[in-house]
Amino acid sequence: MATAPRGRPSTLLELNVDLVVIAVDIHPKQATVATVDLNGRLLSRSVVPVTSDPASSTRLITECMLRMQRGLPGKTIEGIGVALPGRIDPGTHLLVFAPNLQWPDFDLKGAIEKKMHLPVTMENAATACLIAEVTGGRIDGIRDAVMVTVSEGVGTSVFANGQLINGLHGMAGEFGHIPLDPSGLPCSCGRRGCWETFASCRAALRYYQELQSKAETITFHELLNRAEEGDQHAAQALAQQALYIGRGLAPIIAGLSPSVILVAGDITSAWHRFGPIIEKEAAALTLVGTPPQILPTHDGDIERLRGAAALVFQRRPTREQLHQSDPAAVMA
């Protein structure tokens, strides 16, 4: 197991619990809508379906938000944070690349703001998770880190020299669409053999089907459960996914040399399966010196909601105001 960064975790002060944000985590088939208070507590959570029609999907999401708003009398909603499986152009705020969502050009921010009359901040899910880790103090003292989110696809976000990297049109960090095998399976982006076609949760389900030699529709959660219940094919499928997650770190490690690679997604709940395989691959790919630490995020499938909430909270008090001063936690 990798060790945590130096320093004890800082202690959260109890902050104004009347201030809340609405956090939304959008996936290709469903979105989770939640309310989160300033202390990071989830107050409510609900799942709504998402389709390839952005307008009707957004209507279901905003209707859910309105129901939650009505359930919080006396609370002040600070804003709405949205974590997306795609890239948002920081200049236009439009979703410019979301191959797994398959939405045409759509002004999601404008549509939600019009309905909710609240400010909306949107970000790529991996970037939102990275912002949550940076503002939460988890990688204090670290100047080079990469967040890898593993779900229906594989997303990444880059923190280099102490700064988030956006790139032209906000497209920096699309390592998930670097081909591991240019003659591999078609990818949702239109190319072939991208990292995510080998390393996503969809890939793990495909490996499982191939091993089972029968078509069976199960969820990734069910696959994780089957592995824990002793299903050897499920365990093999997850091990294969872990191997490819590790192999796909090659351009990240060689190109950016991060000291920490954070991993978010449902796979973190089975880290005893994934961690050792990914760490071994990362060590083999490291050209000089110690390999990057591979750290799972703590919150499993709610990490992206934490990230969405952090998009709103980052505009509020600084980390110093959010955390009790703890000299022992200050990095050397």
Site for Zn ion in 87-146 (CB under 5 A): none
**CB of residue 109 vs Zn ion: minimum separation in angstroms?**
25
In the numeric block, which tokens belong to residue 241? 């996914």
In the numeric block, which tokens belong to residue 276? 């050792």
Indicate which single residue of 15, 42, 94, 189 sits in contact with Zn ion (rule: CB under 5 A): 189
Letters for 153-182 (x = contact with Zn ion by CB under 5 A, - = none) are ------------------------x-----
Nearer to Zn ion, 116 or 245 (CB): 245
Indicate which single residue of 187, 260, 264, 302 sits in contact with Zn ion (rule: CB under 5 A): 187
* Closest residue by Cα to residue 201 from 284, 293, 269: 269
**CB of residue 251 vs Zn ion: minimum separation in angstroms?**
14
Torsion of CA 316, 158, 130, 199, to 10 degrees: 160
Looking at residue 95, its amino acid is L
Q: Which span sits near Zn ion by CB under 5 A: 193-201, 211-219, 247-255, 276-284?
A: 193-201
Nearer to Zn ion, 138 or 177 (CB): 177
* Closest residue by Cα to residue 139 from 256, 274, 262, 38: 262
- DSSP string computed for 71-138: T-TT-EEEEEEEEESSEE-TTT--EEE-TTTT--S--HHHHHHHHH-S-EEEEEHHHHHHHHHHHTTT
Rg (alpha carbons) of the chain, rounded to whole number: 20
Nearer to Zn ion, 187 or 263 (CB): 187
Residue 204 binds to Zn ion (criterion: CB under 5 A): no
Nearer to Zn ion, 36 or 194 (CB): 194
Q: Where on the chain is the footprint of Zn ion (CB under 5 A)?
A: 177, 187, 189, 191, 194
